[in-house]
Amino acid sequence: MFAAGFRKNNTACERYTAGVGTAVITGASSGIGEAFARALARRGQALLLIARREDRLAALAEELRARHGIRVETLAADLASSGGLARAAEAVGGTADLTLLVNNAGFGTRGYFHEGVLEEQERMHRLHVMAALRLTHAALNVMIPRGEGGVIQVASVAAFARSSYNASYCATKSWMTVFTEGLHLELREMGSRVRVQALCPGFTYSEFHDVLGVDRKTIASWLWMRADEVVEESLRGLERGRWLVIPGRIYRWFATVVSKLPVRLRLAVEARNPQRKARVGGGFVSR
């Protein structure tokens, strides 16, 4: 039984198919967020796109309107700022036909925690934790009374294995995953048809790594996935009611195995993760 807004396809590949309603996507101007926007637009979903870069949001919105004939609105906002987050939360809470929220906005930093700029670390926690918390709260208060909708938190496979140079990123993505599991339990206990999902991708082709100056050649090509592949697995998982989606067999295997290891062995594995080779100028973070 699928809630309104979650229609089961009879094709070989099930797809999330939006009914009448609006999807809100943060960090929508590039990478996984942009891939979500394009995938949902192809399904006829109305969109509210949120990101800091107003020019790129406007260009993407214009393209999607012209190509798919859908309603696309934009909101330029920095979700790590109190003002930007307040405006975004108001927009989410004021979307009466809200069908889907994708909390995708995020960034990484490089270097040892104690050597980094504290303000950047605080900004990461505000964006990954407080923004996700506040927008999810606003969304669920729209969705639960209506008995339909979904929330996707774009976390990371880093939620399952920590690494040096990456402390805050791994910690915040772990929080997003644990938070989602708790919400899943609450919604199931309530008998709600609203769905939540923690999406935990590994290395994904996007600007995320380019901004950090990552040399992709130092990481095996078979570890990389395209953003559209990640999004398709996420939407299939949402339709099937899966609260945790880890795209790619290698990453599902890794998360399963590493989570069962004794602590000493897990620490040894974490110390040898492939990110170490990719650090340029002091380290890097993967989504």
Q: What is the pLDDT along the chain (287 residues), one digit of tens a residue?
A: 233 344 443 333 334 444 569 999 999 999 999 999 999 999 999 999 999 999 999 999 999 999 999 999 999 999 999 999 999 999 999 999 999 999 999 998 888 999 999 999 999 999 999 999 999 999 999 999 999 999 999 999 999 988 888 899 999 999 999 999 999 999 999 999 999 999 999 888 665 555 555 555 656 677 789 999 999 999 999 999 999 999 999 999 989 998 888 888 888 887 876 555 544 433 333 33
Residue of 16, 112, 165, 169 marked active site? 169
Asked, for residue 60, whether it belongs to a domain, the answer is yes
Please say if 205 is a catalytic residue. no
Asked, for residue 14, whether it belongs to a domain, the answer is no
d(CA 284, CA 286) in angstroms, rounded, equals 7
Asked, for residue 59, whether it belongs to a domain, the answer is yes
CATH assignment of the domain containing 116: 3.40.50.720
Q: Cα dihedral angle (107, 62, 231, 132), rounded to 10 degrees?
A: 40
Asked, for residue 13, whether it belongs to a domain, the answer is no
Q: Which two tokens stand for residue 157?
A: 């496979």
Q: Which range marks the domain in which residue 231 is found?
A: 22-278
Say which residues have a Cβ less than 8 Å from residue 28's Cβ, sequence separation at least 6: 34, 36, 37, 47, 49, 50, 51, 57, 60, 104
| Bridge partners of residue 102, in order along the sequence | 25, 152
| Bridge partners of residue 87, in order along the sequence | none
Asked, for residue 16, whether it belongs to a domain, the answer is no
Please count the structural domains in the chain.
1
Asked, for residue 187, whether it belongs to a domain, the answer is yes
Report the SS3 class of residue 238: helix
For residues 104 and 26, is the Cβ–Cβ distance under 8 A? Answer: yes
Whole-structure pTM value: 0.86
